[in-house]
Structure 1
Amino acid sequence: VLFDSYKVGGGLLAKLRKGASFTLEKERLNDEIWLPSAADINLSVRVLLFGGVKVNQLVESYNYRKFQTEVEGAKVNEPDNSDPEN
């Protein structure tokens, strides 16, 4: 949680108001890897003294699936160093 306002350019360019928060939750899958399960974003921003934006967003991620893949016979070309303007 942001306990005090955060100003950019002395508050003239932008101001993130106090009370903003960002929470990230993760869960361990198959005793192998930690992956994000939820992100909760709450903030209020004033931009250029004119308007503002309030964001209250919950993003949930689930139903992760494990898969395997193989690549055979792949070739990476050399970079093209020619002049892009000509």
Structure 2
Amino acid sequence: MSKSSVYSWRIDPVLKQDLEQAARTEQTSIAQLLEQIVQDWLYKKSSPDDEEVQQRLHEAASQTFGAFRSRDSKGSEKVRERVRAKLRQKRATQRPD
């Protein structure tokens, strides 16, 4: 990337030393390290926070939350039995006699 802009600012000497040490550790220049830090920060700020995303997803999904109402309080316990009965009935009507 071609660089055509210059930006400078004053920082605390201790922060400058920490930045220089970090650049040495990363085996890069201070300018490249600062550019990466700024890019990461801008990306993080422009991307919605994971918690925000999860909250929006939860709110959208919560509109579908609910319970099925039935006159049969044991309905969910009898599902297997009812499905098998319906399948038997369906197969019986499909058999040519």
| TM-score interval (norm. to shorter) | under 0.3
Q: Which has the higher contact order (CA 8 A, sep 6+)?
A: 1
Please, what TM-score do these two structures have when normalized by structure 1? 0.22
Please, what TM-score do these two structures have when normalized by structure 2? 0.21
